[in-house]
Amino acid sequence: MGGATSPAAPCLSVCLLPLLFLFLHGCWSCVAIERERTLAMIKPDGLSGNYTERIKEVILESGFDIVKETAVQLDAERASLFYAEHSGRSFFDSLVKYMTSGPVLVMILERPDAILHWRVLIGPTDARKAKTSHPNSHKSYASFHFSIRAMCGVDSEKNCVHGSDSPQSAAREISFFFGDVRSDTVEHDEL
Protein backbone atom coordinates (compact mmCIF):
# COMPACT_ATOMS: atom_id res chain seq x y z
CA MET A 1 0.00 0.00 0.00
CA GLY A 2 3.04 2.30 0.09
CA GLY A 3 2.25 3.94 3.42
CA ALA A 4 -1.13 5.27 2.35
CA THR A 5 -3.53 6.01 5.15
CA SER A 6 -7.27 5.80 5.04
CA PRO A 7 -9.52 8.80 5.77
CA ALA A 8 -10.49 6.96 8.95
CA ALA A 9 -6.94 7.07 10.34
CA PRO A 10 -7.22 10.57 11.90
CA CYS A 11 -10.45 9.57 13.61
CA LEU A 12 -8.83 6.51 15.18
CA SER A 13 -6.47 8.61 17.26
CA VAL A 14 -9.11 11.22 18.13
CA CYS A 15 -12.01 8.85 18.78
CA LEU A 16 -10.48 5.64 20.11
CA LEU A 17 -7.66 6.88 22.33
CA PRO A 18 -10.00 8.63 24.79
CA LEU A 19 -12.10 5.46 24.96
CA LEU A 20 -8.99 3.39 25.70
CA PHE A 21 -8.02 5.90 28.41
CA LEU A 22 -11.54 5.67 29.86
CA PHE A 23 -11.34 1.87 29.88
CA LEU A 24 -7.97 1.91 31.64
CA HIS A 25 -8.71 4.70 34.14
CA GLY A 26 -12.48 4.54 34.50
CA CYS A 27 -13.39 8.23 34.37
CA TRP A 28 -14.19 10.80 31.69
CA SER A 29 -12.84 13.64 33.80
CA CYS A 30 -9.37 12.16 33.25
CA VAL A 31 -9.75 12.43 29.46
CA ALA A 32 -8.68 15.82 28.12
CA ILE A 33 -9.24 16.31 24.41
CA GLU A 34 -7.80 19.57 23.16
CA ARG A 35 -10.09 21.43 20.81
CA GLU A 36 -8.67 23.24 17.82
CA ARG A 37 -10.04 26.01 15.62
CA THR A 38 -9.95 26.40 11.87
CA LEU A 39 -11.35 28.84 9.36
CA ALA A 40 -13.98 27.59 6.95
CA MET A 41 -15.27 29.66 4.07
CA ILE A 42 -18.20 29.07 1.76
CA LYS A 43 -17.14 30.76 -1.47
CA PRO A 44 -19.39 32.73 -3.87
CA ASP A 45 -20.45 29.64 -5.85
CA GLY A 46 -21.48 27.87 -2.63
CA LEU A 47 -23.64 30.79 -1.53
CA SER A 48 -25.19 31.46 -4.95
CA GLY A 49 -25.83 27.74 -5.45
CA ASN A 50 -27.86 27.57 -2.24
CA TYR A 51 -25.49 25.08 -0.58
CA THR A 52 -25.07 27.06 2.64
CA GLU A 53 -27.58 25.20 4.81
CA ARG A 54 -26.49 21.80 3.51
CA ILE A 55 -22.83 22.61 4.20
CA LYS A 56 -23.61 23.90 7.70
CA GLU A 57 -25.64 20.74 8.38
CA VAL A 58 -22.65 18.61 7.32
CA ILE A 59 -20.36 20.71 9.55
CA LEU A 60 -22.53 20.27 12.64
CA GLU A 61 -23.21 16.58 12.05
CA SER A 62 -19.46 16.03 11.64
CA GLY A 63 -18.85 17.14 15.22
CA PHE A 64 -17.82 20.76 14.66
CA ASP A 65 -19.10 23.73 16.61
CA ILE A 66 -19.57 26.92 14.62
CA VAL A 67 -18.02 29.42 17.03
CA LYS A 68 -18.56 32.51 14.92
CA GLU A 69 -19.71 33.30 11.39
CA THR A 70 -20.19 36.34 9.21
CA ALA A 71 -20.99 37.11 5.59
CA VAL A 72 -18.41 39.28 3.83
CA GLN A 73 -18.18 40.89 0.40
CA LEU A 74 -14.47 40.92 -0.40
CA ASP A 75 -13.03 43.70 -2.53
CA ALA A 76 -9.96 43.11 -4.74
CA GLU A 77 -7.56 44.45 -2.11
CA ARG A 78 -8.85 42.19 0.70
CA ALA A 79 -9.03 39.13 -1.59
CA SER A 80 -5.45 39.80 -2.75
CA LEU A 81 -4.28 40.07 0.86
CA PHE A 82 -6.07 36.88 1.90
CA TYR A 83 -4.59 34.89 -1.00
CA ALA A 84 -1.19 36.70 -0.99
CA GLU A 85 0.70 33.37 -0.83
CA HIS A 86 -0.56 32.68 -4.38
CA SER A 87 0.32 36.14 -5.77
CA GLY A 88 3.01 34.84 -8.13
CA ARG A 89 0.88 32.03 -9.54
CA SER A 90 -0.79 32.11 -12.96
CA PHE A 91 -4.29 31.72 -11.50
CA PHE A 92 -4.01 34.57 -8.98
CA ASP A 93 -5.89 37.29 -10.93
CA SER A 94 -8.68 34.88 -11.81
CA LEU A 95 -8.93 33.77 -8.17
CA VAL A 96 -9.20 37.36 -6.93
CA LYS A 97 -11.87 38.13 -9.56
CA TYR A 98 -13.84 35.03 -8.56
CA MET A 99 -13.57 35.73 -4.81
CA THR A 100 -14.93 39.25 -5.35
CA SER A 101 -17.82 38.07 -7.57
CA GLY A 102 -20.20 37.66 -4.62
CA PRO A 103 -20.34 37.37 -0.85
CA VAL A 104 -18.59 34.64 1.11
CA LEU A 105 -19.55 33.14 4.46
CA VAL A 106 -16.61 32.78 6.84
CA MET A 107 -16.87 30.62 9.95
CA ILE A 108 -14.66 29.65 12.84
CA LEU A 109 -15.07 25.90 13.37
CA GLU A 110 -13.96 24.11 16.53
CA ARG A 111 -13.46 20.47 17.52
CA PRO A 112 -10.53 18.17 18.27
CA ASP A 113 -8.17 18.16 15.25
CA ALA A 114 -10.43 20.65 13.48
CA ILE A 115 -7.95 21.53 10.72
CA LEU A 116 -7.38 17.93 9.68
CA HIS A 117 -11.04 16.94 9.94
CA TRP A 118 -12.21 19.97 7.92
CA ARG A 119 -9.60 19.32 5.21
CA VAL A 120 -10.70 15.68 4.94
CA LEU A 121 -14.36 16.71 4.84
CA ILE A 122 -13.91 19.29 2.07
CA GLY A 123 -11.86 16.90 -0.08
CA PRO A 124 -9.37 17.57 -2.89
CA THR A 125 -8.83 21.17 -4.04
CA ASP A 126 -9.90 20.32 -7.59
CA ALA A 127 -13.63 19.57 -7.47
CA ARG A 128 -13.32 17.47 -10.66
CA LYS A 129 -10.88 15.18 -8.84
CA ALA A 130 -13.17 15.19 -5.79
CA LYS A 131 -16.12 14.05 -7.92
CA THR A 132 -14.02 11.11 -9.16
CA SER A 133 -12.64 10.12 -5.75
CA HIS A 134 -15.91 10.81 -3.86
CA PRO A 135 -18.62 9.94 -6.44
CA ASN A 136 -21.59 9.61 -4.07
CA SER A 137 -21.18 12.95 -2.32
CA HIS A 138 -24.41 14.29 -3.79
CA LYS A 139 -26.31 11.48 -2.01
CA SER A 140 -24.93 11.10 1.50
CA TYR A 141 -22.22 12.44 3.78
CA ALA A 142 -22.52 9.52 6.18
CA SER A 143 -19.43 7.80 4.79
CA PHE A 144 -15.68 8.26 4.41
CA HIS A 145 -16.26 8.80 0.68
CA PHE A 146 -17.91 12.20 1.08
CA SER A 147 -16.49 15.53 -0.04
CA ILE A 148 -18.13 18.94 0.13
CA ARG A 149 -16.21 19.95 -3.00
CA ALA A 150 -17.53 16.91 -4.87
CA MET A 151 -21.05 17.84 -3.77
CA CYS A 152 -21.01 21.47 -4.91
CA GLY A 153 -17.69 22.42 -6.53
CA VAL A 154 -16.96 22.87 -10.23
CA ASP A 155 -13.16 22.92 -10.64
CA SER A 156 -9.98 23.88 -8.76
CA GLU A 157 -10.98 27.56 -8.52
CA LYS A 158 -14.75 27.29 -8.10
CA ASN A 159 -14.49 24.58 -5.49
CA CYS A 160 -17.18 25.90 -3.14
CA VAL A 161 -15.23 26.01 0.14
CA HIS A 162 -11.92 26.99 1.69
CA GLY A 163 -10.18 25.49 4.69
CA SER A 164 -7.04 26.44 6.60
CA ASP A 165 -4.20 24.02 5.90
CA SER A 166 -2.14 24.43 9.09
CA PRO A 167 -2.40 25.85 12.62
CA GLN A 168 -0.41 28.90 11.46
CA SER A 169 -2.76 29.49 8.51
CA ALA A 170 -5.80 29.00 10.74
CA ALA A 171 -4.57 31.63 13.21
CA ARG A 172 -3.74 34.09 10.42
CA GLU A 173 -7.02 33.53 8.54
CA ILE A 174 -9.21 33.73 11.65
CA SER A 175 -7.48 36.97 12.63
CA PHE A 176 -7.89 38.30 9.06
CA PHE A 177 -11.68 38.04 9.26
CA PHE A 178 -12.46 38.17 12.97
CA GLY A 179 -9.58 39.93 14.71
CA ASP A 180 -8.79 38.66 18.20
CA VAL A 181 -11.49 36.12 19.09
CA ARG A 182 -11.82 34.95 22.70
CA SER A 183 -12.31 31.24 23.29
CA ASP A 184 -15.80 31.72 24.74
CA THR A 185 -17.15 33.86 21.86
CA VAL A 186 -20.17 32.56 19.96
CA GLU A 187 -21.72 34.93 17.45
CA HIS A 188 -23.66 34.47 14.24
CA ASP A 189 -24.36 37.27 11.78
CA GLU A 190 -27.29 37.00 9.40
CA LEU A 191 -26.66 36.69 5.68
pLDDT in tens, 155-178: 878 888 999 999 999 999 999 999
Which of 4-8, 31-35, 117-121, 132-136 bottoms out in mean pLDDT, i.e. has the lowest? 4-8
Residue 35 marked as a ligand binder: no
Residue 54 marked as a ligand binder: no
Catalytic residue among 25, 138, 162, 188: 162
Whole-number Å distance between alpha carbons of 110 and 107 = 10
Residue 158 marked as a ligand binder: no
Q: For residue 146, with 0-12 CB atoms within 10 Å meaning exposed, 13-18 middle and 19 or more buried, which class applies?
A: buried
Question: Taking the CB of residue 128, how many other CB atoms lie within 10 A of it?
Answer: 15
Residue 159 marked as a ligand binder: yes
pTM for the whole thing? 0.74
Domains (range + CATH), the chain: 34-188 (3.30.70.141)
**Residue 162 annotated in active site:** yes
For residue 14, pLDDT beyond 80: no
